């Protein structure tokens, strides 16, 4: 760790939450250099939906490299790319009656978001974009402008104009219809809201603290977009790729976004980002939005393997089953915590356990790490413990991880009670 502390910028983050040197990983488990094993409920922030070093992926990558398969090809056609595209069409788009064109952007999620915003503005000839409270879309300048959290926004002393924030569902509690507010702003010529080119949102806000939009709210938002000629962009970077139980998180609601951003697990563990959009939105001139690393051939090879999970509904059913397991366990733990204000929210295999007491969630995450569980925080004040295990995790491992979380919470509660008793 000394080299990290000495040489790596202060900006480093996760290494502070999980201070050890990891050496190997398989499935839902990581092992550090001294042989200590950890269960992984973080899964590379949603990049490892199919687990670490998935056997099928490893074998395909080795074969590709041993046969001198193309590793870098700019955006030229390669066998790895055409195979991936065909499989994505056959396994994901066609069975869902979705007709999208595909644009390969730079390799991380934020590149896909930047592309979506640029294309939407170009098509509509409007500068404004509507984003939502607690949304997170990445940290390059355009994506940062549609990201809510001031912790990230404060450092960029540049103009972040051309974005208006509207309240997400339940932002003011469940008795206020936030879509009514949005509609009123759009209809009133004196509201001060410039008609946006697009709205961008996550159907389940992940970094923002696990806020789940209902199918009705999403449907209502889609109707508003159609009525006011606004493009609907769903950012499925973290909760796409099966996290919700369906391949796309919006499937349950029945909406059809105009654009969808995908990254993280689409690369089967390797960097890959892409943007899907309706064919008539493909208004780019050739080479107009370019870059060196667009379409990573090793990621295409990896992704082609992981897309096989979607050839039948086994994974989808497993995610929905494990979702129920997580929900029941977390709700039970929450109900047993007398005197602590908590909340459990989630869908599919992304859940948040919120502790209203400031700092408590961070203590829980730290204690979990000491006990061999890697679990991160979310929310504006890091008040939510975020459950994000690989979708392929075995049920015993899932139960074991939740047991560790439960033990950590109960020990901390006990320590606090003892402390109070000593004080009085």
Ligand X SMILES: Cc1ncc(COP(=O)(O)O)c(C=O)c1O
Residues that bind ligand X (CB under 6 A): 45, 108-110, 113, 136-138, 202, 206-207, 235, 237-238, 263
Nearer residue to ligand X within complex by CB, 50 or 136: 136
Report residue 259 CA to chain centroid gap. Answer: 16
CB 266, CB 296: distance < 8 Å: no
Q: Whose Cβ is closer to ligand X: residue 272's or residue 409's?
A: 272
CB of 303 to ligand X, least distance (A): 15
User: Dihedral (C-alpha) 221, 224, 225, 227: value to the nearest 10 degrees?
Assistant: 160
Query: Min. distance of Cβ 276 from ligand X in angstroms?
Result: 14
- 45-to-93, 111, 359 alpha-carbon distances in Å: 25, 17, 21
Q: Which of 297, 11, 295, 9 has the alpha carbon at shortest distance from 139?
A: 11
Nearest to 114 by CA among 294, 268, 270, 248: 294
User: Which is nearer to ligand X, 268 or 408 (by Cβ)?
Assistant: 268
Identity of the residue, 329 or 386, whose beta carbon is nearer to ligand X in the bound complex: 386
User: What's the CA gap between 131 and 36, in Å, rounded?
Assistant: 42
- Least Cβ distance, residue 365 to ligand X (angstroms): 17
Distance of closest approach, residue 263 Cβ to ligand X, in angstroms: 5
Residue nearest to ligand X (CB): 109
CB of 361 to ligand X, least distance (A): 18
Q: Of the two residues 377 and 409, which places its CB atom closer to ligand X in the complex?
A: 377
Q: Which is nearer to ligand X, 235 or 397 (CB)?
A: 235
Report the alpha-carbon distance of residue 212 to residue 209 in Å, rounded: 9
Buried/exposed 100-121: b ≥16 CB within 10 Å, e otherwise: bebbbbbbbbbbbbbbbbebbb
Gap between the Cα atoms of 382 and 355, Å rounded: 9
Is residue 64 within a helix (H) or strand (E), and if so which, with residue range? Answer: helix 55-66
CB of 299 to ligand X, least distance (A): 13
Strands (E), 112-256: 129-132, 163-166, 198-201, 204-205, 211-212, 231-235
Name the residue nearer to ligand X (CB basis): 210 or 402.
210
Query: What pairing do the DSSP bridges indicate for beta strands 231-235 and 259-262?
Result: parallel
Query: Strand pairing partners for 32?
Result: 22
Q: Which is nearer to ligand X, 137 or 329 (CB)?
A: 137
Nearest to 331 by CA among 349, 319, 343: 343
Task: Show the tokens assigned to 127.
Answer: 């500068």
Select from 222, 223, 240 the least CA-distant residue to 232.
222
Query: Rounded to the nearest whole angstrom, what is the least distance from the CB of residue 386 to ligand X in the complex?
Result: 11
Q: Report the residue number, 205 or 304, with the smaller CB distance to ligand X.
A: 205
**Residue nearer to ligand X on the CB measure, 113 or 302:** 113
> Least distance from C-beta 308 to ligand X, angstroms?
24
Least distance from ligand X to the Cβ atom of residue 237, Å: 4
Cα separations (Å) of 270 from 85, 144, 298, 300, 301? 16, 23, 7, 9, 10
What's the closest the beta carbon of residue 376 comes to ligand X, in angstroms? 11
């Amino acid at each position: 760790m000394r080299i990290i502390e000495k040489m790596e910028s202060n900006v480093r983050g996760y290494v502070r939450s999980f201070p050890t040197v990891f050496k190997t990983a398989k499935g839902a488990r990581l092992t550090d250099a001294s042989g200590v094993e950890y269960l992984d409920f973080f899964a590379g922030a949603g990049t490892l939906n199919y687990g670490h070093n998935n056997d099928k992926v490893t074998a395909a990558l080795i074969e590709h490299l041993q046969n001198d398969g193309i590793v870098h090809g700019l955006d030229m056609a390669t066998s790895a790319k055409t195979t991936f595209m065909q499989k994505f069409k056959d396994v994901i788009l066609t069975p869902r009656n979705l007709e999208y064109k595909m644009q390969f952007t730079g390799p991380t999620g934020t590149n896909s978001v930047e592309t979506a915003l640029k294309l939407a503005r170009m098509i509509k000839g409007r500068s404004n974009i509507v984003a939502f409270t607690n949304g997170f879309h990445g940290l390059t300048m355009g994506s940062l402008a549609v990201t809510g959290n001031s912790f990230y926004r404060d450092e960029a002393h540049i103009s972040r104009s051309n974005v208006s924030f509207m309240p997400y569902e339940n932002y003011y509690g469940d008795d206020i219809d936030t879509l009514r507010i949005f509609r009123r702003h759009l209809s009133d010529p004196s509201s001060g809201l410039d008609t946006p080119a697009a709205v961008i949102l996550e159907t389940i806000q992940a970094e923002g603290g696990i806020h789940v939009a209902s199918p009705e709210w999403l449907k209502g938002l889609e109707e508003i977009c159609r009525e006011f000629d606004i493009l609907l962009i769903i950012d499925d970077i973290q909760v796409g790729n099966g996290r919700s139980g369906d391949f796309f998180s919006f499937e349950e609601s029945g909406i059809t976004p105009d654009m969808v951003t995908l990254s993280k697990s689409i690369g089967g563990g390797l960097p890959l980002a892409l943007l899907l959009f309706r064919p008539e939105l493909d208004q780019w001139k050739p080479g107009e939005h370019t870059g060196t690393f667009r379409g990573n051939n090793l990621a295409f090879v990896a992704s082609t393997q992981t897309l096989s999970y979607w050839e039948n509904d086994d994974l989808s059913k497993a995610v929905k089953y494990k979702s129920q397991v997580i929900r029941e366990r977390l709700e039970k733990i929450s109900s047993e915590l007398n005197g602590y204000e908590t909340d459990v929210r989630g869908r599919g295999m992304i859940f948040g356990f919120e502790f209203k007491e400031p700092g408590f969630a961070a203590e829980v995450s730290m204690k979990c790490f000491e006990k061999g569980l890697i679990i991160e925080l979310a929310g504006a004040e890091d008040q939510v413990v975020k459950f994000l295990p690989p979708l392929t995790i075995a049920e015993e491992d899932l139960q074991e991880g939740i047991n560790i979380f439960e033990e950590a919470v109960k020990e901390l509660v006990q320590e606090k009670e003892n402390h109070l008793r000593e004080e009085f």
